[in-house]
Amino acid sequence: MATMSEKRAAKREEKRIEREEAEAGFRLNQIKPATNAIFNVMFAILSFICVFPFFFVLMISISSEQSLRTNGYALIPSEFSLSAYEFLWNERGMILQSLLVSVGVTVLGTIIGVVLTTTMGYVLSRPQFKLRGFLQWVVFIPMIFTGGMVANYVVIANLLHMDDTIWCLVLPLAVSSWNVTISKTFFRQTIPDSIIESAKIDGATQLTIFARIVVPISKPVFATVALFLTFGYWNDWLQAALYINKDSLIGLQPLLNRMMGQLDYLANNPTAGLSLQQYRAQMPSESVRMAIATVIVIPIACAYPFFQKYFISGLTVGAVKG
């Protein structure tokens, strides 16, 4: 009986020590109320800085043209009007066409970019790959030095003859050294060599290993690269400015850029059955710029929450569970 009592007492003592250690660790990691309040204020300020420009643009887009001429840009317009959005609705044929081009380029470019970037990053993450050192320099050098805009134009337009095609909007942005480096680092730190070796012993090819083993446990890096590519394609206007002359291949961002630089672009393409003079007189130029900017921002803002959980997973990869 004495031995059983001693064992029970020892177990109770171990549990007490474990509980005290857990409480001590909790107190050590606990944020003080004052620090927590400071963090909340900082995040509130950062959130305001991010949201305020969009809200300001939205307010300008629903301001009347007379209010903008009289008072300029204002956070609370003196006179509200939906004339800018009515104008865009009248031009819905051109806006919808540009929207479809932007969506098509973004989806196609993101798929191609994710496949190329992640496969290249996976290959560079394997120490057994013989050309690993050479290809790492091939990836690293463009991150520091580039051939410049003239060299890019000569290659894409004169050598590959991709100007005025959808491929000049897709391929130049598909792979970047930064995204390849992110993928390589993730695969190197997350995919153990023992798993790869075990699959090889079972007779799996490299393509099978990547598709059935690497891809299912690498969703965070796929989502991260996909989000970077989506933002890049959706916000890009330079490729269209350099290589596209066909109106049928103009996306939303190039359309906005043309409107910002030359308001006559819309006036010279009337589709409402009006004369050119009437069309120019009815066009709410300032508010239309902000309205189309709002239309451009909304789709990409709605897409971001779908990637958020994978970012959270990416932050916790490698964490030690308590």
Output the DSSP codes for 207-220.
HHHIIIIIGGG-HH
Q: What's the pLDDT score for residue 89?
A: 81
- CA–CA gap between residue 133 and residue 112 (Å, rounded): 25
Angle at 292 between CA 288 and CA 293, to 5 degrees: 115
- CA–CA gap between residue 24 and residue 26 (Å, rounded): 5
Residue in 234, 222, 226, 160 with CA at minimum distance from that of residue 187: 222
Residue in 229, 4, 285 with CA at minimum distance from that of residue 117: 229
- Largest Cα–Cα distance in the chain? 106
Q: Which value, to the nearest 10 degrees, does the dihedral of the CA atoms of residues 135, 214, 231, 96 take?
A: 120
Angle at 227 between CA 226 and CA 231, to 5 degrees: 115
Q: Dig out the tokens for 214 from the structure.
A: 């690497």
Q: Which residues contact 313 (CB under 8 A, 6 or more apart)?
A: 219, 220
Q: What's the pLDDT score for residue 272?
A: 45
- CA–CA gap between residue 88 and residue 294 (Å, rounded): 12
Going residue by residue through the chain (322 aa), what tens digit of pLDDT does each one get?
456 666 676 677 777 766 766 555 555 556 677 877 888 899 899 988 888 888 888 888 888 877 777 777 777 877 888 888 887 787 778 888 888 899 899 999 999 999 999 999 888 888 888 888 888 888 888 888 877 788 888 888 888 888 888 899 999 889 888 889 888 888 888 888 788 888 888 888 888 888 888 888 888 888 888 888 988 898 888 888 888 888 888 888 888 777 665 555 555 555 544 444 455 555 556 777 788 888 888 877 777 777 666 655 554 444 444 4
Q: Which residues contact 260 (CB under 8 A, 6 or more apart)?
A: 289
Residue in 99, 234, 220, 95 with CA at minimum distance from that of residue 169: 234
User: In Å, how far from its chain's centre is CA 41?
Assistant: 26
Q: What's the pLDDT score for residue 266?
A: 53
What does pTM read for this prediction?
0.72
Distances (CA, A) of 161 to 1, 108, 174: 92, 20, 18
Residue in 206, 228, 133 with CA at minimum distance from that of residue 215: 206
- CA–CA gap between residue 132 and residue 250 (Å, rounded): 39
Residue in 228, 231, 221 with CA at minimum distance from that of residue 301: 231
Contact assessment for residue 168 and residue 244, using Cβ atoms and an 8 Å cutoff: yes
